[in-house]
Amino acid sequence: MSAPGGSLSALAAAVLQPGFVGVTPPPWICRWLDEGLGSVVLFARNVVAPEQVAALTATLRAQRPDVIVAIDEEAGDVTRIESARGSSRPGNFALGAVDDPALTEGVARDLGADLAALGITLNYAPDADVNSNPANPVIGVRAFGAEPALVARHTAAWVRGLQAGGVAACAKHFPGHGDTRVDSHHDLPRITADRARLDAVELAPFRAAVAAGVQAVMTGHLLVPALDPELPATLSGRILSGLLRDELGFSGVVVTDAVEMRAVADRYGFAGAAVRALAAGADAICIGGERADEDSARLLRDAIVAAVVAGDLPEERLTEAAKRVGQLAAWTVAARAARPPRPRPTAAGSAVGLAAARRALRVTTAPAGVDALPLAGPAHVVEFEPPRNIAIGPETPWGLAAPLADLLAGTTTARYAEADVPADPTAGAAGRCVVLVVRDLHRHDWMRAAVTRALAARPDAVVVELGVPELVTGAVHVATHGATRAAAHAATALLTGR
């Protein structure tokens, strides 16, 4: 992929990965593809049905055959292609709980083949973070686990599987977002580990990803004083060029996390963060989660050009970045050509994923709960809904109420957020089995208090944890290790015996 005429404007466009609004490419995207734009990224707002996505990517490719079409499809709680129904595959945490790298590789290969059938060529996954801090508000079940060696072997397996399916993988969030209580969408996390700890924990999965041939690495907006006491990783030459390139030996594309995120935009400005990231060694600038319009893309393009003209961004660095994006584009073209034809995914989802989710279930039973499963009759399902982080998004459904109601006639449901939990959350459950559905119970004081009251009223209640099972409570506790559709169906089968 070369910039038409080698112009600075075309080079600047080549390193952008913008999103857009709509289920068809807007005119400005098509025009920019003719003018040097090398990549676009799809979000849930761009996805309605497989046929529509395939038509969208075909339109993009008609404008530029080697365009990189990216998506953020972790195939767990963070899903874009199945956002309307929830993912039919288990997420990383569930795969880590099973701890069968061959299964992880198979699930990722199945996903890669589905994405490739839709015309998608780059996936912002896997999440290679080690979730060593249980209070982490943004990683959690997106990680394979809290143990570095486990995360490393499954990161490598996921990379191998996805790329064997024909789609470039992108390990994130370098150098590791697991040990923090701060969400970088909102503020700048600070990772206080020393270099020895970083080598042993945070960096281990990224070393494994590089060894597995990962095509891209996404930066995290993280301040890591042991590596750079002043600049976030996305803007740090010490981290991107010194550590990732020179020490870890990564030669692929470095993609930024979205530069409109407050961790960097609030401190360095939207355009300032993009320019600094390129100067530090990033090759592609991800935008469009929140700023998905031509004016935002133009602002970044023009700022990049102005920085080159002013001498703040060496033209050689911009040329190098555009060249790496072009090399990734060539890889995706070759991968598409080598991939055998496969039917587009259907609404039923992945049979491979649904089977994997069943293997991830874990049941902890106290003596009083030995005979509690399967449920003896209709259930009253109480779901406690915590706030969602931006990465998951508000549109993806979760919970057990709907699948249980489909199988158990007479089942009733209630869902409570923090502001509306009654004194007795099990009120109305007389004559029914009680199922308490939680998500990261250990992180929410209000939820723990509500579950304590519910178990006092109904000690026979079954607790189903759809997040990280850090806190196990109740006579029967079921951990799904994720809130995907696949996890919900696996839990429902267990609860009903069907």
Residues 328 and 374 in one domain: no
pLDDT band, residue 345 (cuts 50/70/90): confident
Question: Which tokens in the block code for residue 225?
Answer: 């004083």
27-32 mean pLDDT: 97
Q: What is the pLDDT of residue 4?
A: 37
In a domain, 355, yes or no: no
CA distance 119 to 113: 10
Domain boundary among the residues 338, 371, 402 is at 338
Looking up residue 219, the CATH number of its domain turns out to be 3.20.20.300
CA distance 149 to 432: 44
Residues 303 and 169 in one domain: yes
Q: What is the pLDDT of residue 393?
A: 81
Candidates 101, 182, 102, 168; CA nearest to 139 is: 182
Contacts 24+ apart (CB under 8 A), 305-314: 305/8, 305/9, 305/12, 307/275, 307/278, 307/279, 308/8, 308/12, 309/8, 312/275, 312/279, 313/275, 313/278, 313/279, 314/279
In a domain, 1, yes or no: no
Residue for token pair 């979730």: 131
In a domain, 279, yes or no: yes
Full strand arrangement of the beta sheet holding 412-416: 362-365, 476-479, 462-465, 433-438, 379-384, 412-416
In a domain, 488, yes or no: yes
In a domain, 207, yes or no: yes
Residues 92 and 25 in one domain: yes
Q: What is the pLDDT of residue 163?
A: 97
Residues 208 and 309 in one domain: yes
pLDDT band, residue 341 (cuts 50/70/90): confident
In a domain, 347, yes or no: no
Residues 314 and 398 in one domain: no
Residues 132 and 278 in one domain: yes
pLDDT band, residue 455 (cuts 50/70/90): very high
325-337 mean pLDDT: 96
Residues 286 and 372 in one domain: no
Residues 383 and 432 in one domain: yes
Residues 50 and 157 in one domain: yes
In a domain, 356, yes or no: no
Residues in contact with 387: Cβ distance below 8 Å, sequence separation at least 6, in sequence order: none
Q: What is the pLDDT of residue 193?
A: 95
Whether 2 shows a pLDDT value over 50: the answer reads no
pLDDT band, residue 3 (cuts 50/70/90): very low
Condensed to tens digits (0 to 9), the pLDDT of residues 393-433 reads: 888 999 999 999 888 888 999 999 999 999 999 998 999 99
Q: What is the pLDDT of residue 412?
A: 94
- The count of other CB atoms within 10 Å of the CB of residue 329 is 23
In a domain, 353, yes or no: no
Candidates 360, 321, 325; CA nearest to 99 is: 360
CA distance 43 to 46: 6
Which residue range forms the structural domain that includes residue 428?
361-496
The total domain count for the chain is 2
Cβ atoms of 26 and 20 within 8 Å: the answer is yes
Looking up residue 379, the CATH number of its domain turns out to be 3.40.50.1700
Residues 332 and 378 in one domain: no
pLDDT band, residue 289 (cuts 50/70/90): confident
What number of residues does the chain have? 498
Q: What is the pLDDT of residue 158?
A: 98
Condensed to tens digits (0 to 9), the pLDDT of residues 123-182 reads: 999 999 999 999 999 999 999 999 999 999 999 999 999 999 999 999 999 999 999 987
C-alpha separations of 144 from 200, 359, 377 in Å = 16, 15, 35
Residues 326 and 369 in one domain: no
Residues 393 and 258 in one domain: no
Residues carrying an active site annotation: 185, 257
